Structure 1
């Protein structure tokens, strides 16, 4: 008797465990691969008979279980969806005969399925590059999504909706995988990168050295949010439905850092400088203080970056190269009132006076109290007024 080899069994899959690992990492949104390029759907799709997680393998609605689990968290739930399929005969025939059978019978109905059934707050489209947005009927789908769908008032989408759309059209822009511009961008963008340096999927031959360190991810986080981006970190579970232990460990380590430095991350905005040309590998984020300033209420919602005002702006300096005798931030001009708190500790530095740079000797850093020695995040208040438009400056 012949037996079909089932490569994906997910016998140890626990949606609640997934949600807990993601939440512990400090992530605020989660995007699950509902279908990748091989066409296997992680939900019982009506257009993918016997090639989905309910009919074979796990015999479970993986997307549905994850949706239920993430409802118990404050993490926004999203779904990745591959438009094309490598081996689908209908898609291959569409390419040969200039037809639209695959779109009409598979991909287009599936997008409506995942939105109507699971109500994702993020729809992350991919695999669209060989066909136009007209072929995928992207305009029609997006019009429905934003005007009539059950998530019309809260959903966001990326920029991969047909040839030439990436980096141009979408709620947020991805430009390319592992995108890291190193300068401020006017549109909200996303750095989508992998924890495994070599793959987006699971590899049985993966070595520990192939996995990014927590420091490398923290560095990417700093660079990304300093330039008006979000970080989407890919983790590939194994065939048994488990997140590999080394990935879980990395995410927990990142989460501990994020928890201690959350005010420099969540609800922050870019500053007038994105990095410091004098202090190597130093990046800036910022916030405005709550309340009023000079009799007027502070508005933060529609600003791309925070201008520097002594009484209003809080600067966060992410120093990612800590092997120096002195830390000199040339981008920060100090006043008699300037203070710099070392996040993760109770150390506060003051007495800078009026100066064209902020300087803290390494000898004054309480290294034994830092949560980690390879990253310093300073919360700087009452720095001097400066006016600068980083979008019009070439000095980064």
Structure 2
């Protein structure tokens, strides 16, 4: 391996800080709160509501509204924001100008049946449609406000009604997105301070206005005059609704959030409500931040939401498409942690899907056609996270999702304690030979023909003779069958202390933040199957305002490594630095801790990943 100190890694991305537009968009994301417990165990009403959702696992988000017309541009210039649906806020477009633009919205190519059939072919089981986004424009026939696609545009049809009917015909669950806290068209809501200077600002915390009698009372009037009445319309005029998906609920008080939750369940008791109705612990399930690619399960039931590119609404300049294999891996990763994944499309102003969006989804659907058994109704496995992919579980069957085929063709399944009856490729093929390796692991002998086509994971089904039991502690080896490197991300670590926290988990933000207290630390639990030696390296970012020194401690005799924190050019300029050698003398379970030795700046560093290279594979 040699000394790679200061080596620029392939995970580094340009840019030291968030652009201001992205920082502000994140403030509307409702990131996960510290309070993360949900409905109490034994809540029969909740269990009845959530049953279909746990089986479905995959949904489709549709962000569509008059913002599809400008598609990210205003007055001939691109608006500097990732999300095109935020164009009214980002460009500070006056209400009158936005109304005039919306009058031209005439999506004559809209075909609800085609949308739903495409979603079904893509393997998606429920649809969430934006009935009203932050711009205040209703994408349905609202009697509460004439500012709608039916009464304000030449289109004159109700796409929400047509989608609800198409979902019923095709057997998909119909869900509705409704922006209950934010409405830039309304003079008493939040966000629009260019037309209504006395309003609550889009990025204002609740504490900044709750004691302001004028702002508080006017916002409360908006909630009872428009927001709650429109929610009642949606739940009484469109048949059975599987879920109500609220947004920016962290901008409400808990009591206001509870008013929406109560309203939904009073009208449709089996309708699910997401945690953004306020924030956890309210709601039937928790949400991650938008486009959070690195996740941690924080409640039994939780949902990850991603776009196929960067924007949610259609943006003509956004060609930053995610690959189908990346979407498939995101599906697997989320389900392996007991979550659901919702994938977004942003239709064009004519009512069509971008051909690239449709192509990606249908390619994902082809993989699900062969391998969906490992996703639908599946969940987290009690076994350890493997180095070669992920595992999901359903009943007595453990599903092995292979991202990287071991070079020697011997796949070690770590932490599987139950007796195995057979192992076979889920997409078809002969049973595979296997043997037990010690008391806790299984080795599967892969056929030469079992390869990873186009990066799309191959799935093996492991049928056990009993309920699957496992050891979840990560297995490390340094002999035959070990990978070239073990990557222990900080999102896999547990953290302790008052200030240290996980970043958003978005692209290039899968690190720890705010390491300002020397008492804070992170740790990983690991297991070895025998004596092991590794070269340890730490990947982190550090700007001019950070610095100090750190130590790595392993619960084995004499295992303490100390290193100075090196500047990398910025907190998000991630580089890899060698820390030293870690030796584990026997088979067993250990703990690796990352501590601050000394903090010399505003923060120590922003660690992203601990890398352990087996000694036999290092070129020292």
TM-score by length of 2: 0.53
| Residues 57 and 173 of structure 1, relative CA distance in 2, 3 Å threshold | farther
State which of 331, 337, 340 in structure 2 corresponds to 1:221.
331
> 1:309 matched to which residue of 2?
none
State which of 69, 77, 85 in structure 1 corresponds to 2:174.
77
CA contact (8 A) 1:37 1:86 kept: yes
Aligned-residue CA RMSD (Å): 2.9
Q: Secondary structure at the match of 2:286?
A: coil
Matched, 1:126 2:233: no
User: Map of 1:353-392 to 2, 5 A cutoff?
Assistant: 355=438, 356-361=440-445, 364-367=448-451, 374-382=456-464, 386-388=469-471
CA contact (8 A) 2:272 2:284 kept: yes
CA contact (8 A) 2:130 2:176 kept: yes
| Residues 36 and 376 of structure 1, relative CA distance in 2, 3 Å threshold | same
Deviation at 1:273, TM superposition (A): 2.7
Structure-1 separation of matches of 2:303 and 2:330: 11
Deviation at 1:358, TM superposition (A): 3.2
More off after superposition, 42-51 vs 244-253: 42-51
> 2:189 matched to which residue of 1?
91
- Deviation digits for residues 302-337 of structure 1 (CA, Å, limit 9, x no counterpart): xxxxxxxxxxx2110111223734342241548885
Deviation at 1:339, TM superposition (A): 2.4
Task: Identify which of structures 1 and 2 has the higher relative contact order when contacts are C-alpha pairs closer than 8 Å and 6+ apart.
Answer: 2
Deviation at 1:359, TM superposition (A): 3.2
| Residues 157 and 316 of structure 1, relative CA distance in 2, 3 Å threshold | same
CA contact (8 A) 2:413 2:441 kept: yes
Structure-2 separation of matches of 1:184 and 1:44: 38
Structure with greater Cα Rg: 2
CA contact (8 A) 2:339 2:379 kept: no
Structure-1 separation of matches of 2:224 and 2:160: 23
Matched, 1:18 2:148: no
Structure-1 separation of matches of 2:318 and 2:287: 26
Structure-2 separation of matches of 1:230 and 1:122: 14
- Deviation digits for residues 175-232 of structure 1 (CA, Å, limit 9, x no counterpart): 4223456555442000011111x2111011122xx11111011110111001010001
Q: Which runs of 5 or more residues in structure 2 are unaligned?
A: 1-98, 191-197, 201-213, 474-491, 495-523, 527-620
> 1:204 matched to which residue of 2?
316
Structure-2 separation of matches of 1:354 and 1:237: 51
CA contact (8 A) 1:341 1:378 kept: yes
TM-score by length of 1: 0.81
CA contact (8 A) 2:378 2:392 kept: yes
- Deviation digits for residues 65-123 of structure 1 (CA, Å, limit 9, x no counterpart): 10111111221100000111123212155635322221121111111111111131110
User: Map of 1:27-46 to 2, 5 A cutoff?
Assistant: 27-46=124-143
Structure-2 separation of matches of 1:169 and 1:252: 35
Matched, 1:172 2:285: yes
Greater percentage in strand:
2
Deviation at 1:54, TM superposition (A): 4.0
> 1:194 matched to which residue of 2?
307
